[in-house]
């Protein structure tokens, strides 16, 4: 009984870490930029499909595909910020919702057209398959990997916001309106890339409850 409960809690924690990374990116966008970005999932999906393409179609090693998925999400977020988001920083919440939900619909349609609507498997390397025994409990290796990566990304985000010059600018802009206006251009451009980069760097990892081979 205790063993099964622990297994459920462990799997839930692994999946929760994935959702946490998604929510962190969205909270940065909404809280620090005051921009309603409902298209955040599109950047996450991009990272996932880049990984699927590199590993399944081009034969790249799984770990080698992760940096390129990160870079892809970052570059696309820069382009969207420059071309679309920047035009609506002073627009109403409704206008921002309409733009970003439109991006979601377009991105979903494009993904369905290219990859279809079926779940895409990811070929994990042998060292990320199987399970290990810890304190008598069998824990999935990939789930442990997912938790470790999520904790590492969270630590990097916290360090960037708390101990860097960029983080100081972000906190000043959030707490002080004149400061926000003074540094709006640099702050918004940087903050727009931060959440999509963080999501792109983690959500291209397959879900711990999805099928992998």
DSSP 89-156: TTS-HHHHHHHHHHHHHHHHHHHHHHH-SSPPPB---GGGSSEEEETTEEEEHHHHHHHHHHHHHHHH
State how many domains the chain has: 1
Higher per-residue confidence, 155 vs 182: 155
Give the residue numbers spanning the domain of 11: 2-202
d(CA 76, CA 72): 6
Instruction: With cut-offs at 50, 70 and 90, classify the pLDDT of residue 213.
Output: very low
Q: What angle do CA 39, 41, 47 make, to 5 degrees?
A: 120
Q: What does the CA dihedral 184, 85, 94, 161 come to, rounded to 10 degrees?
A: -50
60: which residues sit within 8 A by CB, 6+ positions away? 54
Evaluate if residue 192 carries a pLDDT over 80.
no
Whether 53 is in a domain gets the answer: yes
d(CA 17, CA 25): 13
Res 207: pLDDT: 57
Whether 98 is in a domain gets the answer: yes
**Quick one: what percent of the chain has pLDDT higher than 70?**
76
**Quick one: what percent of the chain has pLDDT higher than 90?**
12
Identify the three-state secondary structure at position 203: coil
Whether 207 is in a domain gets the answer: no
d(CA 206, CA 95): 33
Instruction: With cut-offs at 50, 70 and 90, classify the pLDDT of residue 206.
Output: low
Instruction: With cut-offs at 50, 70 and 90, classify the pLDDT of residue 108.
Output: very high
Q: Spell out a b/e string for 69-87, using b for 16 or more CB atoms within 10 Å of the CB, else e.
A: bbebbbebbeebbeeebee
Mean pLDDT, range 91-117, rounded to an integer: 92
Whether 13 is in a domain gets the answer: yes
Whether 14 is in a domain gets the answer: yes
Whether 163 is in a domain gets the answer: yes
Higher per-residue confidence, 184 vs 163: 163
Residue for token digits 């977020």?
A: 77
For residue 105, give both structure tokens.
């619909």
Span 10-21, pLDDT tens digits: 888 888 888 887
Q: What is the DSSP letter of 38?
A: T
Instruction: With cut-offs at 50, 70 and 90, classify the pLDDT of residue 111.
Output: very high
For residue 134, give both structure tokens.
């810890």
Whether 213 is in a domain gets the answer: no
Q: Quick check: 62 and 55 in contact, CB under 8 A?
A: yes
């Amino acid at each position: 009984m205790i063993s099964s409960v622990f297994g459920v809690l462990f799997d839930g924690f692994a999946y929760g870490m994935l959702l946490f990374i998604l929510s962190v990116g969205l909270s940065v966008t909404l809280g620090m930029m005051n921009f309603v970005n409902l298209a955040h999932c599109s950047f996450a999906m991009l990272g996932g499909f880049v990984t699927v393409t590199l590993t399944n179609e081009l034969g790249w090693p799984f770990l080698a595909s992760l940096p390129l998925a990160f870079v892809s999400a970052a570059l696309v977020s820069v382009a969207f910020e420059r071309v679309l988001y920047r035009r609506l920083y002073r627009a109403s919440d409704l206008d921002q919702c309409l733009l970003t939900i439109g991006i979601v619909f377009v991105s979903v349609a494009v993904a369905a057209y290219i990859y279809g609507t079926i779940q895409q498997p990811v070929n994990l390397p042998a060292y990320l398959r199987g399970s290990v025994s810890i304190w008598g409990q069998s824990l999935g290796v990939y789930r442990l990997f997912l938790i470790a990566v999520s904790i590492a990304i969270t630590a990097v985000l916290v360090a960037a916001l708390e101990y860097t010059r960029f983080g100081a600018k972000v906190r000043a802009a959030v707490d002080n309106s004149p400061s926000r206006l003074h540094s709006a251009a640099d702050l918004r451009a940087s903050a727009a890339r931060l959440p999509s980069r963080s999501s792109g760097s983690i959500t291209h990892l397959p879900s711990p409850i999805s099928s992998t081979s």
